Copies of this chain bind each other. A is one copy, B any other.
Amino acid sequence: MFKKTDETKVMRDPIHGYIHVDKQIVWDCINAKEMQRLRRIHQLGGDFQVYHTAEHSRFSHSLGVYEIVRRMVYEIDSLRMALSEYEKVCVMLAGLLHDIGHGPFSHAFEDISVFPHEEYTVKILMGDSEIHHLLASCKATLPNDVANIIAHKHERSCLNQIISGQLDADRMDYLLRDAYFTGTSYGKFDLERCLRTIRLQDDTIVVKQSGIHSIEDYIMARYHMYWQVYLHPVARSYEAMLSILFKRLKDVYRTNPKSLDRVGMFHAFLNGQPTIEDLFVMDEAACLYGFTLLQDCEDEILRDLSYRLLNRHLFEYVEYHSEKDIERIQAKVRAMGFDPMYYVYHDSVSQLPYSPYKESEKGVNIWVVDEAGEIIELSQVSEIVAAMTRADLKQDEKIYYPNDQVARAGRKKQ
């Protein structure tokens, strides 16, 4: 059904050695403009402010997810046999395309993006996009089936699990990739061993009990990457400033839209009616150039924050214990001449290394098959994982604020 490429195309990749493509539709999607745009969006948002080499894009991550899915559906015997060629291509495309709805700087952008990135992804897949036309001209049902897998509601639940679950191709790629590009070792786990350990049983992705150690290792890798990289307080400072800037943009747009004439890239979002074409044009280049222009705009807060973001004058932080801490910081900030409504940011994050079984989350749990062929939820089998789920939820609350006037001073000098 699916046309083959002339020869297997390979793309060199530090994580997987090579990315292998031999379906024309996959190749065409890689070269579609919605995919190419992901080259202009960092995988790790503000993390390059902490780990200076974390400059890799969602594009290379997407290729990596595709490659893991490809290996799963062709190299794991039980999956290869259980899935039709059509299903294989669907889930590989879902891996490739799962991030196309993302805006710049990952989550912070959602503060003005109107729709969450999942919604954009569906709009792009089902709407008037290059990707949609490629998929639909291949087979009419393809856009919808790919969208369903990405939305975790395909009727064949193993396809959903491959793309989103607690042991999915997305996480497997990003842990390895983010570890490589940050230069940390925390995210490393044994992908080969994991792949050898996974199989399909009763339409569920399961892992063999004998391979449980590599899964435990993977869960620890996640745990450490969260605290060392994804939730690093300095990266969160950058993202806090982004959120504040976007909030201020909206407020200024309401009261004085003309003053934002020069930053046209933000208009559709501020208007509240962004199309997929507006999202397409909104990448990190647009955003950063927007900040460059905002450095000279009328509004002092926007001038200050855009200068800070471009030149890495990050907010400081203190631990949050109670509302008193916030009041104290608000007073401090006010004394420095800043408006606390924007210049004090309360950020709270928490992360569970592994979420144990809940009926409602059945589809995202990790399932183990023991030697008798019984399927059991991971935390019932692994003492280490069980212990982790019993650990107190680690919560981290911080207050971000500027403790210098350097940015403002910097601007004035010019």
A335 within 8 A of partner (CB): no
Given A185-B188, A213-B228, A180 and B292 contact (CB-CB distance below 8 Å): no
Question: 8 Å CB contacts to B: which residues of A76-134?
Answer: 130
Question: What residues of chain B lie closer than 8 Å to A311, measured between beta carbons?
Answer: 31, 33, 36
A285 to B288: give the CA distance in the assembly, Å.
Answer: 6
Given A36-B312, A192-B18, A13 and B183 contact (CB-CB distance below 8 Å): yes
Per-residue B-contact encoding for A354-382, CB less than 8 Å = 1, 0 else? 00000000000000000000000000000
Of the residues B55, B185, B414, contact of A190 by C-beta under 8 Å:
B185
Instruction: Please give me the residue from chain B that is nearest to A313 by CB atom.
Output: B31
B33→A410 contact, CB < 8 A: yes
B57→A55 contact, CB < 8 A: yes
Of the residues B39, B53, B286, contact of A289 by C-beta under 8 Å:
B286
Question: What residues of chain B lie closer than 8 Å to A10, measured between beta carbons?
Answer: 196
Question: 8 Å CB contacts to B: which residues of A38-69?
Answer: 39-40, 48, 51-53, 55-57, 59-60, 63
A297 within 8 A of partner (CB): no
Q: From A140-148, A249-257, A323-331, A390-398, give the one contacting chain B.
A: A390-398
Of the residues B11, B14, B310, contact of A36 by C-beta under 8 Å:
B310
Question: What residues of chain B lie closer than 8 Å to A186, measured between beta carbons?
Answer: 190, 213, 217
A388 to B196: give the CA distance in the assembly, Å.
Answer: 27
Distance in Å: Cβ of A74 to nearest Cβ of chain B:
14
Copies of this protein, total: 4
Most interface-central of A13, A292, A392, A410 (chain B CB within 10 A): A292
A277 within 8 A of partner (CB): yes
Question: What residues of chain B lie closer than 8 Å to A59, measured between beta carbons?
Answer: 52
A300 within 8 A of partner (CB): no
A405 within 8 A of partner (CB): no
A394→B383 contact, CB < 8 A: yes
Distance in Å: Cβ of A372 to nearest Cβ of chain B:
13
Distance in Å: Cβ of A409 to nearest Cβ of chain B:
11
Of the residues B11, B55, B288, B390, contact of A55 by C-beta under 8 Å:
B55
Of the residues B189, B281, B392, contact of A185 by C-beta under 8 Å:
B189
A1 within 8 A of partner (CB): no
Task: Give residues in A with beta carbon < 8 Å to B.
Answer: 10-15, 17-18, 31, 33, 36-37, 39-40, 48, 51-53, 55-57, 59-60, 63, 130, 180-186, 188-190, 192, 196, 213, 216-217, 220, 223-224, 227-228, 265, 277, 281, 283-289, 292, 310-312, 353, 383-384, 386-388, 390-392, 394, 410, 413-414
| 24 examples of A-B residue contacts, CB within 8 angstroms | A12-B183, A13-B52, A13-B53, A14-B182, A17-B183, A31-B311, A31-B312, A33-B410, A39-B52, A52-B59, A52-B63, A184-B190, A213-B228, A216-B224, A220-B220, A265-B289, A281-B292, A285-B287, A383-B391, A384-B391, A386-B391, A387-B387, A387-B391, A390-B390
Besides A285-B288, A387-B390, 17 more A-B contacts (Cβ < 8 Å) are A12-B182, A14-B180, A18-B192, A52-B60, A52-B63, A55-B55, A213-B224, A213-B228, A216-B224, A217-B224, A220-B220, A285-B289, A288-B289, A289-B289, A383-B391, A384-B388, A387-B388
